[in-house]
């Protein structure tokens, strides 16, 4: 049984499909303490190279989850997609066990709505990847794009040629596009507190936040 360590935040990854396996490996790279559960013995054996808390669980009922020790985790991620009934029931069990944060993968709008109504934070991996790729294809200068909500998005892009040599105050991206500069990577260093007097330089990478439309207009202008 998994027992929560004193210091690190503990995670539970339920389901070792492509999404679950990738998530577990990233947690391992980050040095996080985590537990994984799946019905596939081969997948669980693979994960035992990364965590001692890898369990084969034929059924994901509350008893099996409790015996594995998931109730001792701070965050549980349900990585089950195709078996929607299992996804919903497992999510419900985890919430009833009192885990502070339960995140569930959804394969569609209706599935996601049900998960939200029972109290889970919902993620759409395929949709999110498609959105990020689409925005990266819109302009060569956009390096990455993350949608946090309908109104809040974060973009990483190369500094537009039009602003090189000008200050943040003079360019005023907030006034032009309604976006905010949250950080600038300059010569390999990340500047988190960007001052109005900062002068944009060739090679700078901007991290900006704003609405989807605002970031799209900025990307078009930057080409």
186-219: pLDDT as tens digits: 988 889 888 999 999 998 988 888 887 777 788 7
Rounded to the nearest 10°, the torsion over CA 81, 86, 91, 93 is -160
Choices 3.80.30.20, 3.40.50.300, 3.30.70.1450, 3.20.20.70: CATH for 128-222:
3.30.70.1450
What CATH number should be reported for the domain whose range is 10-123?
A: 3.40.50.720
Q: Is the pLDDT of residue 1 over 90?
A: no
Q: pTM above 0.85?
A: no
Q: In terms of DSSP H, where are the helices of the chain?
A: 18-29, 41-47, 62-68, 84-96, 109-117, 125-138, 168-171, 173-177, 212-222
30-33 LR contacts (CB < 8 Å, sep 24+):
32/8, 33/5, 33/8, 33/9
91-121: pLDDT as tens digits: 999 999 999 999 998 888 888 889 989 999 8
Q: What is the CA radius of gyration of the chain?
A: 21
Phi, psi of 142 (to 5 degrees): -80, 120
All CATH 3.30.70.1450 domain ranges in the chain, comma separated: 128-222
């Amino acid at each position: 049984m998994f027992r929560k360590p004193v210091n690190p935040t503990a995670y539970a990854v339920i389901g070792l499909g492509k999404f679950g396996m990738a998530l577990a490996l990233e947690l391992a790279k980050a040095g996080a303490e985590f537990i994984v559960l799946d019905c596939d013995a081969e997948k669980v054996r693979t994960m035992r190279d990364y965590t001692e808390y890898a369990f084969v669980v034929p059924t994901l009922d509350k008893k099996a989850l409790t015996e594995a020790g998931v109730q001792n985790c701070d965050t549980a991620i349900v990585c089950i997609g195709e078996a929607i009934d299992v996804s919903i029931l497992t999510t419900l069990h985890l919430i009833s066990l009192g885990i502070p944060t339960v995140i569930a993968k959804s394969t569609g709008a209706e599935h996601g709505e049900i998960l939200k109504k029972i109290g889970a934070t919902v993620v759409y991996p395929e949709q999110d990847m498609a959105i990020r790729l689409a925005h990266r294809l819109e302009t060569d200068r956009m390096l990455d794009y993350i949608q946090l909500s309908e109104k809040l998005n974060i973009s990483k892009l190369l500094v537009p040629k039009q602003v090189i040599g000008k200050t943040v105050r003079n360019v005023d991206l907030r006034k032009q596009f309604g976006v905010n500069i949250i950080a600038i990577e300059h010569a390999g260093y990340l500047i988190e507190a960007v001052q109005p007097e900062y002068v944009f330089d060739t090679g700078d990478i901007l991290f900006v936040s704003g609405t989807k439309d605002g970031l799209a207009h900025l990307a078009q202008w930057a080409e």
